Amino acid sequence: MNTNIQQLHQIAFKEERLIIGLMSGTSLDGLDIALCKCKGSGTNTTVEIVQFETVAYNNDFKQEVKSVFSKRQVDLEKLCLLNEWIALQHASMINACLKQWGVKNERIDMIASHGQTIYHAPKSLHQQKKFGNATLQIGDGDHIAVNTGIITISDFRQKHIAAGGEGAPLALYGDYLLFGKQGENRVMLNIGGIANFTYLPASMDAAAMFSTDTGPGNTMMDAYMQQHFAGKYFDEDATIARQGTIHALLLTALKDNPFFKEGFPKTTGPELFNLAYLANAMERAGIGFIDHVDAMATLNRFTADTIVHALQQTMQQNRFAVYASGGGMHNPLLMQHLGQQLPNADFRNINDLNINPDAKEAVLFAVLANECVAGNGHLFAGNIAGIPNVRMGKISFPS
Ligand SMILES: Nc1ncnc2c1ncn2[C@@H]1O[C@H](COP(=O)(O)OP(=O)(O)O)[C@@H](O)[C@H]1O
Ligand SMILES: [Mg+2]
């Protein structure tokens, strides 16, 4: 028998598994590395974060990824090289963290690797009849497994698409398993490059829950900062946006896109929400020039308004609790806009649920890997629209 399969079999039967969850989103800020202790599976899953770190990407890494990221035309050789190179970078970041934490690689049962999204093309974006939903994450799992010596589960999104989804948001599965609570409407809101939320109804009726993207999170604000403020990668603490005035005409034009009229669940990416999108909105609104601070104030409000719109559509007048995560939760102006426009929401901290909000997305991938190896494949009854009832991830062995 292949000893790898034997080892995997043992891991599946363990009472608790040490799993490293990895997340690197569209913001390209860094690799989130969460060392998690996962017990049980399915609705009995519990997770304890043992260690967490975001390893910031250096400029070289950012430039290399940006050379192919969300571009319709790329240097194919570069893409091919990056598939291996990103995995090697991630593997060495993991090895360095484990060393720093004083944890031997042999002690880790599995790595859950999201990879780096290069392109996300749901049908709503490409609109080509003969093609389905598609997405591409690179940083191949085999290279991570061989270079860390740890079994690696990766490329979670393809199964989701194969089974009828758009490949995103995958947060729903972990949100449902870890945070669902009978008797309370909960919204798990993640504001990364793109903003998304999972709605967990008080009834815990799986058929009523869903995860959806709402539109841009930080991506357009980040892109604008990088374009117009030399040396700045994002609007730290909204210092720039706070100096500006919201341009009402531009805001209206920004919100005028078919994506916002589509039903839930839906997904998107910087392939749509980018600086060309802003230029197009300015043109439609007949705006030739705008102060940079006013543009940032407007983009900040655009993110807030589209999140608010999606939540109001979902919750109507009902009370609900919002647990925010992702880098956008550290943007005080954005959070202020959300608070003011959602009077029926109670804003809570995921720390109260024993999860560091910055680690949350990485933890959710650890949970998906746990399900891949130890789950029974029936998270909820039946198939729910856009939420295939499947275990996801591909298994790579170190040897
Ligand atoms: N103090 C802050 N003020 C404003 N924005 C912040 C702050 N901290 C983080 N961010 C935003 O969060 C982004 C990173 O968010 P993250 O959740 O890591 O996104 P992703 O999942 O796309 O990597 C940064 O690019 C930045 O826009
Ligand atoms: Mg990030």
Q: Which domains does the chain have, with CATH numbers?
A: 3-168+359-396 (3.30.420.40), 171-353 (3.30.420.40)
Question: What is the model's pTM?
Answer: 0.95
Q: What is the pLDDT of residue 207?
A: 85
Residue 117 burial (C-beta neighbours within 10 Å; 0-12, 13-18, 19+):
buried
Q: How many CA atoms lie within 13 A of 309 on its CB side?
A: 19
pLDDT digits (tens, 9 = 90+) for 70-119: 999 999 999 999 999 999 999 999 999 999 999 999 999 999 999 999 99
Which residue's CA is the nearest one to ligand 1's atom 21?
Answer: 25
Q: Could you say which ligand is closest to the alpha carbon of residue 55?
A: 2
Q: What is the pLDDT of residue 378?
A: 84
How far is C-alpha 201 from the chain's CA centre?
Answer: 21
Which residue's CA is the nearest one to ligand 1's atom 5?
Answer: 331
Tell how far the Cα of 55 is from the centroid of ligand 2, in angstroms. Answer: 9
**How do 186-191 and 194-200 pair as beta strands?**
antiparallel
Query: Is the CB of 193 within 6 Å of ligand 1?
Result: yes
What distance in Å separates the CA atoms of residue 243 and residue 331, rounded to the nearest whole number? 14
Tell how far the Cα of 331 is from the centroid of ligand 1, in angstroms. Answer: 8
Give buried/exposed letters for 303-333 (b at 16+ CB in 10 A, else e): bbbbbbebbeebbeeeebbbbbbbbbbbbeb
Q: What is the pLDDT of residue 309?
A: 98
Tell how far the Cα of 352 is from the centroid of ligand 2, in angstroms. Answer: 22
Q: What is the pLDDT of residue 383?
A: 67
The structure tokens listed for 318 are: 């009902």
- The residue ranges of the chain whose pLDDT is under 70 are 382-383
Cα–Cα distances (Å) from 160 to 109, 218, 377, 386, in that order, read: 24, 25, 13, 9
The structure tokens listed for 27 are: 């913001």
The structure tokens listed for 389 are: 């009832």
Tell how far the Cα of 207 is from the centroid of ligand 2, in angstroms. Answer: 30
**Taking every pair of C-alpha atoms in the chain, what is the biggest distance, in angstroms?**
69
